[in-house]
Amino acid sequence: MYIWFTVLAGLAILSLPFLKTCFPYFGEDFAYIMRSIQLGARLVKYKKKKPFYSILDCFLDKVKRHPAKTFVHFEGREYSYGEVDKQSNKVARALQAAARLKEGDTVALFLANEPSFIWIWLGLAKLGCPTALLNFNIRSKSLLHCFSCCGAKVIIASAELQDAVEEVLPTLREQGISVYLLSEACSIQGMNTLSDKISQASDQPLSRDLRANIHIRSTALYIYTSGTTGLPKAAVVTHERVWAASFIQAACGVTAEDVFYINLPLYHSAGFLIGMAGGIERGMTIFLRRKFSASQFWDDCRKYNITVMQYIGETMRYLCNTPKKDDEKNHRVRIAIGNGVRTDIWTEFLNRFGDIKVRELYAATEGNIGFINYTSKIGAVGRVNFIHRFFFPYTLIKFNIETEEPVRNSEGLCIEASPGESTGLLVGKITQRSPFIGYAGNKQQTENKRLRDVWKGENVATSEVADILTMAPCILEANVYGVKVEGHEGRIGMAAVILKEGEEFDCSGTYKQVANYLPAYARPRFIRIQASLEMTGTFKMKKVRLVEEGFNPAHIQDSLYFLDPEKKTYIPMTEEIYRAIASREIKL
């Protein structure tokens, strides 16, 4: 390796003009390769280190180095590295005493983006306990499903989610689950308070022996992902994965002096691993927000000297949709890390907000391979250099989007896609270096990893939505899918339903059903009433036809309904509404 890089460095100096012509990304390739090699070497070192050096140990080192430095900035308050450390000691001690937690016990966290998310996780890590990061939008059956598939015996919820927990409390109690509420008082039988116990606990450090058996392949987290089929799945995130993801900031050139803006949910890998854990790895300051706000975004950046932002496709679109202002380029944001931005929005974003280096990533929480676009080429999701290719073999294969299956040749083998083809499926070779860890408690889903369908930046399990719809008294069967709407990224949820014999479609009852059980982004905006399920063709072929037919009342004979969030009910879909959606008077 050493010789290789001496040679490369020599080449770079001797023949820069030549290289610049033949390999326009040579400089970037070189810097990125050097950073990757350094990070790779660190990971190898951590793998061998005894006792195992986890992201928690890294945090404790940063606390020693700069206890007074701000770690988290939240709603006008700053929390230093030292303060967060002490707070996490209190959490660990309170839970150790109250819930008798010990190394290896999984605990589910059910709370929104707030600083306690971070210190509760750190406290649990100090006890050697893996944490399951529940999506705080889920309710009822989904909540129970997510909770039970990680095998947790304890759930910690914020006070504002008390009602959601109360709804499933009887089942949790039946299963002997301990429920803790981040509140000083609670009058509900079977729910324990935690805030009082935390404030009374000592902030003294905890012994490392409590987590003596944790190693690099131990489970650190469960992060929920949902595909197009079935309920959300708990992806097992090992400590090795945590390290790999938290190196992404470093690989993108972020330093300890940067300030990182997190407005994505901490229950997903982007916010938690790349943002927060990456922030710990860099020893930097994080500006945390409860939720993304396009109108506040640049003011926050200016006020808090933010230099690195994180995005999903919608982030940039929403920012580009805000009214133009004179001082738009007046900020210090220099790097944007994320995924899902479209080429046209990317270009517009740079034109409006200035020279920001966009680092587009391609990776999935449970995937075994990832890419970073470190050269800032517009439209590219990543750049692959020869080193990456050697370590992480992958290929793009031909894929039929209608049947959602790879195209196979006469011998039943997949076919490699040619460059320039518009559709392909990325397959990564599963190796020792890039293992596929899979999902918790579900072999079948690990086998059946499928494409994802994105609505508003969230993955929605269509069969879960269908399950919820069929719980409405009037609905017999439901087929849920996403339709493309001009000017909207991702897909908008739609359901074709069959009513029970002799029933009318109950607009307000069905609205109540979806509003009670589904987060806003998963509620079908359009409902199509079908007389009967056609008996020809596979389920998937029918779905393809429904998707194609869309939601234009002028072209569809069946009755159509539209979810009106202001009226809190479904209303009959009219051509007027259709036009208003097309002209974006109605925003979905």
Ligand X SMILES: *[C@@H]1O[C@H](CO)[C@@H](O)[C@H](O)[C@H]1NC(C)=O
* Pairwise CA distance, residues 494 & 466, whole Å: 10
Taking CB under 6 A as the rule, does residue 375 contact ligand X?
A: yes
Q: How far is the CB of 331 from ligand X (least distance, A)?
A: 11
Q: Which of 11, 380, 476, 571 binds ligand X (CB under 6 A)?
A: 380
Residues 6+ apart with CB under 8 A from 437: 235, 236, 237, 238, 241, 366, 368
Q: Is 135 in the site for ligand X (CB under 6 A)?
A: no
Q: Under a CB-based contact definition with an 8 Å cutoff, are residues 177 and 154 in contact? A: yes
Q: Which two tokens stand for residue 520?
A: 């806003």
Stretch that binds ligand X, among 81-89, 240-248, 374-382, 442-450 (CB under 6 A): 374-382
Closest to ligand X by CB, 181 vs 358, is 358
User: Could you tell me the smallest distance in angstroms from the CB atom of residue 141 to ligand X?
Assistant: 41
Token pair for 430: 């599963």
By CB under 6 A, tell whether 66 contacts ligand X: no
- Contacts made by residues 161-165, CB under 8 angstroms, sequence distance 24+: 161/110, 161/111, 161/112, 161/136, 162/186, 162/188, 162/191, 164/110, 164/139, 165/110, 165/191
CB of 383 to ligand X, least distance (A): 4
Total residues binding ligand X (CB under 6 A):
10
CA distance 325 to 523: 34
- Residue spans of beta strands (DSSP E) within 247-340: 259-262, 285-288, 308-312, 335-339
Candidate ranges 82-90, 101-109, 372-380, 491-499; the one touching ligand X (CB under 6 A): 372-380
Residues in the chain: 588
> Which residues ranging from 348 to 367 are in contact with ligand X (CB under 6 A)?
358
- Tell me the torsion sign for CA atoms 77, 88, 143, 271: positive
- CB 371 to ligand X: min, Å: 9
Position among 96, 158, 228, 373 found at the interface with ligand X (CB under 6 A): 373
Query: What's the min distance (Å) between Cβ of 28 and ligand X?
Result: 7
Q: 527: helix, coil or strand?
A: strand
Q: Could you say whether residue 289 binds ligand X (CB under 6 A)?
A: no
Strand partners, 83: none
Question: Which residue's C-beta sits nearest to ligand X?
Answer: 377
Which C-beta is closer to ligand X: that of 137 or that of 305? 305
| 225 vs 373, beta carbon nearer ligand X | 373
Q: How far is the CB of 414 from ligand X (least distance, A)?
A: 24
- Is residue 376 within the footprint of ligand X (CB under 6 A)? yes
Structure token pair of residue 173: 């109690």
Query: Rounded to the nearest whole angstrom, what is the least distance from the CB of residue 305 to ligand X in the complex?
Result: 4
> CA 12 to CA 64: how far, in whole Å?
39
* Residue 229 within binding range of ligand X, rule CB under 6 A: no
Nearest distance from C-beta of residue 162 to ligand X, angstroms? 34
Site for ligand X, residues 295 to 354, rule: CB under 6 A? 304-305
Closest to ligand X by CB, 388 vs 523, is 388
Residue 16: how many CA atoms within 13 Å on its side-chain side?
5
Binding site for ligand X (CB under 6 A): 304-305, 358, 373, 375-378, 380, 383
